[in-house]
Amino acid sequence: MKWPIPKFAGLNQKKIWFILGFFLAGWVATLVIWYCRDYIFGLGDNVYKEVFLAWTGELIFFTVVGLAVTVITMEKPPNPTSLKFDERFQILFGDKDNPREVQRFHKQEIELLARYSSAGSRKIIIREFKPELNAYVVMVHNWYVLNNAFRDVHLMEKIPLQITPDPFEGKNLPNVGQINHIKINKSEKIHNFTPIPVIGYKIEFEEPLPAAGEIHIEIEYEVLMGCGFLQEQEARRFMQSMQIEITNQLPHNVLLAVTDEPGPPIPLEPTRPAEFFRTNVEPKGMIFGFKLLEPGAGGNLGEQNTVLAAARDGAGDAAPAVLPSSL
């Protein structure tokens, strides 16, 4: 008959086997002395016998109490920060014998989940309308905080920033905007007004993300946004909260259609910003999507709705422009 060997989960396994081994050695020594008692006890009158009885009593006491404490300790999970990440990983899956490549993949996925964004803001300022391009010149300022949920594991974070402009076919434009600056933890990575070509702009940085720490990321750029083209920002990490502010600096109204809010378009009046808030956006979820439509002819909603319908029938199904996002 093959007796099953008890298997304890995670870090407790080594400790428990050590404790059991210690008690087993004590009881083996006690049984050996008891087996040879006639010879041993006869050497020192009653001294050895009294020592043996005291030892046996203490051994019985600590065996009962020690095993009870061990069982109680097993029921209480250890402090996570006292365990290495690999040990916590084994506890999570309850088996340390998973294939190495499977463990490596799962650990990478868990490390990705540990990254999240606690807060962010996006300010969009409409500065100019170019009728020959049917587009607005806007300035965008993105700021957000990237956090590490691990209290004791340091990470290296890749921060990709990408701008995919709206297509302006047949316009022969040398570029569609410029990067004013990119800052990571207040350190300027780009500050020389880098042009944004018509094919788009992409760059990646790698920064240390300390345990329980954070990275502050800031990017400001100017770009052309075509009327009726969908502008989207996707969450790369879990986003706790995001504030969006859109300000119109033109002397007339601008129509704003928010994709996830039903109803007529919003007339953006000059210098009166529109604010939106988004919370608890999951990775690959859309944080905010909108379209800038033709300039409104005033506060007449009926006339603006006519313009909105025309824009949706025309360029409303155009390919979306994916704006910078490293969340």
Q: Which two tokens stand for residue 210?
A: 């300390």
For 40, phi then psi, to 5°, come to -70, -45
Please give the C-alpha separations between residue 252 and each of 60, 128, 296, in angstroms, as whole numbers. Answer: 90, 11, 7
Q: Hey, what's the torsion of the CAs at 13, 17, 18, 24, to 10 degrees?
A: 170
- Burial of residue 272 (CB within 10 Å: 0-12, 13-18, 19+) is exposed
DSSP 3-state assignment of 88? helix
For the chain, domain boundaries: 12-106, 114-322
pLDDT at 179: 95
Model confidence over 239-291: pLDDT tens digits? 999 999 999 999 999 999 999 888 899 999 998 999 999 999 999 999 999 99
Q: What is the CATH number of domain 114-322?
A: 2.60.40
pLDDT at 318: 38
Query: How far is Cα 161 from Cα 325, in angstroms, rounded to an integer?
Result: 6
pLDDT at 51: 72
pLDDT at 271: 87
**Other Cβ atoms within 10 Å of 126 Cβ, number:** 21
Please give the C-alpha separations between residue 212 and each of 45, 106, 207, 209, in angstroms, as whole numbers. Answer: 66, 21, 15, 8
pLDDT at 194: 92
Model confidence over 92-102: pLDDT tens digits? 777 667 787 88
pLDDT 10s per residue in the chain (327 long)? 444 444 444 445 666 677 777 778 878 888 877 777 666 666 656 666 777 777 777 778 777 777 766 666 665 556 666 677 777 777 777 766 778 788 888 888 888 889 999 999 999 999 999 999 999 999 999 999 999 999 888 999 999 999 989 998 878 888 999 999 999 998 999 888 899 999 999 999 999 999 999 999 999 999 999 999 999 999 999 999 999 999 999 999 999 999 988 889 999 999 899 999 999 999 999 999 999 998 753 444 444 444 434 433 443 333 344 444 444
pLDDT at 261: 84
What's this model's pTM, rounded to 2 decimal places? Answer: 0.68
